[in-house]
Amino acid sequence: MITNLMLAALIGAGLQSASPGPLSLAEAIHIARQQPDPSVSRYDAAARAARHRGEAAAVLPDPVVSAAIMNLPLTTLDPSGDPMSQLRLSLRQMFPRGDSLRLSRSQERARAREERARRDLAVREIILDVRNEWLEQRYWELAREQTLQRLSTLQDLSGVLLSAYAAGRQNSHEVIRSDLETQILQNRLTEIDQQADMARARLARYVGEEALHRRAAMSDVRLPALPEGQEALTSLARHPAVAILEARIDVRETGVELAEQQYQPAWGVEAGYGLRFGRSDTATIGVSFEMPLFERTRQDETVLAAREDVAAAEYSRQALLLDLRRALQIEQARINRLDSAIALQRSGIIPAARETREAVLLAYENQTADYSELVQAELALLDAELTLLRLDTDRSVAAAQILYLTGDVQ
């Protein structure tokens, strides 16, 4: 019997040691980076496709081979009976206008850079989402612990109150009020658990289903240092969204050069051989090219349109930089306000709430305060602690947003 109990204890200890511990923020980001994500892989595939199109665009078009029997007499269908009859074989090779082949490849390479920038943007957005959802999960799990502590305190007070009521020293309405407040906190716990489960499920989108069974690490949140001043503003130009527009500008500038190639003629070379059935064979060599006989309105308008496309992309880049700068300034101001609120909460509100709770508890023990005042003091302290936790979480979320804008190394 003792052997079986020891064996069961060893198995239980082994299972407990094998179970994963709390999930830290750094580990969550590492898992998200390592785990293949279709929202990232699609841009890798698109970049490879653009690169392949570029290599294909740099190759000359296939030559055209033609074979024909010419001047065949319809009365006899005998090619040897007419001196004009011949079997003609020809080969034609066309050459695109100007430097179109090289420019087409350059344009597709720029499109590949745009897709790679989209991939970098998707990775940065994933890291932002992982940070936000992990922070939310951590907030709700800490809120649950603090709410459970207050619930335990109220339940202990309810036990004392019930004993006093049984001894005839308390009124029934105080007992009813005690049960009501306990049920309200239990309902709040249910809502907290729901929010925690939702944050955990959203986080599992990036780190796998294992996250559904792991708590967030309760240690202090550690994020990379935030850039400040000119360094932060300069880093905005390296944002992947800006890189997308810069690559798009390259695509459209190459499009201008391609449009300018329309002023150059397309030309081709043709060689032919004629077999004349017993008579002297013939050979043909020729060159064909376009002749600009009509006005060049089409080419001019095409080039102007391509240049306007470049201007539109440039304006989009400038507008994006302004938007990124505004977002950075908003988050920096938000952090400053949150720091002030956190300092006030820690140094003023929470100490005052604790002193109030202790004073009301002492008054309740001396029968100079009723139970409702004691409950209000306990709940006020809980609200103050949860407010501080929410402020700390919101500050970390704002810092994560700044890191999304400026970039970081986790």
pLDDT of residue 257: 92
Answer yes or no: is pLDDT of 369 > 70.
yes
Alpha helices in 262-296 (DSSP H): none
What are the structure tokens assigned to 291, written together? 């002749």
Q: Which residue has the higher pLDDT, 406 or 179?
A: 406
What average pLDDT does range 46-52 have in this prediction? 94
Decide if 380 is inside a domain.
yes
76-83 long-range contacts (CB < 8 A, ≥24 apart) are 79/277, 80/277, 80/278, 83/276, 83/279
pLDDT of residue 1: 43
pLDDT of residue 17: 43
Band of pLDDT at residue 160, cut at 50, 70 and 90: low
What are the structure tokens assigned to 195, written together? 């929010």
* Lowest mean pLDDT across 105-109, 122-126, 162-166: 162-166
Measured between alpha carbons, how far is residue 93 from residues 263, 268, 363 in Å?
20, 5, 103
Residue 75 DSSP code? T
Task: Give burial (CB, 10 Å; 0-12/13-18/19+) of 214.
Answer: buried
* Lowest mean pLDDT across 35-44, 48-57, 178-187, 261-270: 178-187
Q: Are 345 and 384 in contact (CB under 8 A)?
A: yes
Q: Are 129 and 199 in contact (CB under 8 A)?
A: no
Question: Among residues of the chain, what percentage have pLDDT more than 90?
Answer: 48
Q: Measured between alpha carbons, how far is 197 from 144 in angstroms, rounded to an integer?
A: 12
Task: Give burial (CB, 10 Å; 0-12/13-18/19+) of 75.
Answer: exposed
Q: Measured between alpha carbons, how far is 328 from 308 in angstroms, rounded to an integer?
A: 30
Q: Measured between alpha carbons, how far is 158 from 371 in angstroms, rounded to an integer?
A: 9
* pLDDT tens for each residue of 15-30: 444 456 888 888 899 9
What average pLDDT does range 137-160 have in this prediction? 84
Measured between alpha carbons, how far is residue 22 from residues 234, 376, 390 in Å?
37, 34, 21
What average pLDDT does range 342-370 have in this prediction? 87
* pLDDT tens for each residue of 282-321: 888 999 887 766 667 888 888 999 999 999 999 999 999 9
Helix (H) / strand (E) containing 85: none
CATH number of the domain that 187 lies in?
1.20.1600.10
Answer yes or no: is pLDDT of 137 > 90.
yes
Decide if 191 is inside a domain.
yes
pLDDT of residue 368: 78
Band of pLDDT at residue 167, cut at 50, 70 and 90: low
pLDDT of residue 174: 65
Answer yes or no: is pLDDT of 5 > 60.
no
Decide if 5 is inside a domain.
no
Answer yes or no: is pLDDT of 84 > 80.
no
What are the structure tokens assigned to 390, written together? 């929410």
- Residue 272: strand pairing partners: 90, 284
* Lowest mean pLDDT across 151-155, 249-253, 302-306, 360-364: 151-155
Decide if 393 is inside a domain.
yes
Nearest residue to 255 via CA among 296, 315, 295, 308: 308
Answer yes or no: is pLDDT of 216 > 70.
yes
Q: How many helices (H) and strands (E) does the chain have?
A: 10, 4
Question: Among residues of the chain, what percentage have pLDDT more than 70?
Answer: 88
Q: Into how many domains does the chain fold?
A: 1
What average pLDDT does range 171-193 have in this prediction? 79
Residue 168 DSSP code? T
Band of pLDDT at residue 181, cut at 50, 70 and 90: confident
pLDDT of residue 19: 57
Find the farthest-apart pair of alpha carbons in the chain and give their distance in angstroms, rounded. Answer: 136
Three-state SS at 287: strand
Decide if 11 is inside a domain.
no
What are the structure tokens assigned to 48, written together? 């490879």
Band of pLDDT at residue 195, cut at 50, 70 and 90: very high
Q: What share of the chain is helix, strand, coil (3-state, %, to 5)?
A: 70, 10, 20
Band of pLDDT at residue 121, cut at 50, 70 and 90: very high
What integer best gives the mean pLDDT of the chain?
Answer: 85
Decide if 4 is inside a domain.
no
Decide if 18 is inside a domain.
no
pLDDT of residue 10: 46
Q: Measured between alpha carbons, how far is 308 from 250 in angstroms, rounded to an integer?
A: 13
Decide if 3 is inside a domain.
no
Nearest residue to 244 via CA among 124, 335, 359: 124
Range of the domain at 243: 23-406
Residue 346 DSSP code? I
Q: In what order do the strands lie in the sheet with 64-70?
A: 64-70, 86-95, 267-275, 282-289
Q: Measured between alpha carbons, how far is 269 from 220 in angstroms, rounded to an integer?
A: 75
